[in-house]
């Protein structure tokens, strides 16, 4: 993706901007930047950086609005793979999901629920993962988010695959591929 390459070229400038925002107490804007950069950080291997930045934003505590706190918790959860314990990541997403429900932010809730679904899948809790992915799918379909639908379908395919249901898994993967093209 061209925009990811551009962000990589501008990465040092983005770091300077984030550092300045945090030092100046512009926490809301720092969270907005983190929310915009989470996929870049994840795809390009900067999860530790995103994790640190969101940790600094969360230090503002009650000064953060509900929606800003929800986004900071969500991004921290997305960045926490391999850094936090599974329980720590789940806590971040559960807190984020509760706040996104309050603010009726469907995309944020879907992103967070997708994380909880993937965690359940990684832990081998296929029944919980299935239920969470179904809720996540409903949310992404509600807002007509093709990327989210494709992502959920690809994860849902892992469940029947792990049960030896190869044909059923293939249907999920094929649908995910068709949507993602």
- Express each pLDDT in 93-121 by its tens digit: 999 999 999 999 999 999 999 999 999 99
CA 70/CA 46 separation, integer angstroms: 21
CB burial string 142-177: b at 16+ within 10 A, e below? eeebeebbbbbbbbbbbbbeeeeeeeebeebbebbe
pLDDT of 44 higher than 80: yes
Q: State the first-to-last Cα distance of the chain, in angstroms, to the nearest integer.
A: 13
Would the pLDDT of 127 be above 80? Answer: yes
Tokens of 77: 């959860």
Q: 37 is written with which tokens?
A: 């950069």
pLDDT band at 179 (very low <50, low <70, confident <90, very high): very high
Q: How far is CA 44 from CA 20, 47, 77, 82, 92, in A?
A: 22, 8, 17, 15, 22
Asked whether 115 and 86 are in contact (CB, 8 A), the reply is no
Alpha-carbon span 86 to 81, nearest angstrom: 8
- Supply 84's token pair: 């936090």
Domains of the chain: 1-103 (1.25.40), 105-181 (1.25.40.10)
Q: What is the pLDDT, as a whole number, of residue 62? A: 79
Mean pLDDT value across residues 122-145? 95
Structure tokens at 73: 């918790």
d(CA 47, CA 31): 15
């Amino acid at each position: 993706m061209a925009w990811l390459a551009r962000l990589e070229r501008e990465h040092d400038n983005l770091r300077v901007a984030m550092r300045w925002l945090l030092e100046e107490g512009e926490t809301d804007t720092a969270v907005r930047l983190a929310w915009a950069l989470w996929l870049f950080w994840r795809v390009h291997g900067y999860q530790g950086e995103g994790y640190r930045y969101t940790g600094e934003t969360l230090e503002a505590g009650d000064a953060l609005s509900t929606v800003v706190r929800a986004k900071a918790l969500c991004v921290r959860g997305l960045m926490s793979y391999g850094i936090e314990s599974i329980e720590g990541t789940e806590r971040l997403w559960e807190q984020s999901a509760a706040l996104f429900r309050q603010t009726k932010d469907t995309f944020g809730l879907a992103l967070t629920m997708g994380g909880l679904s993937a965690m359940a899948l990684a832990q081998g809790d296929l029944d919980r993962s299935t239920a969470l992915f179904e809720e996540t799918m409903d949310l992404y379909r509600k807002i007509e988010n093709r990327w989210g639908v494709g992502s959920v379908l690809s994860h849902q395919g892992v469940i029947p695959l792990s049960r030896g249901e190869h044909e059923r898994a293939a249907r999920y993967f094929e649908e995910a591929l068709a949507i993602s093209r």
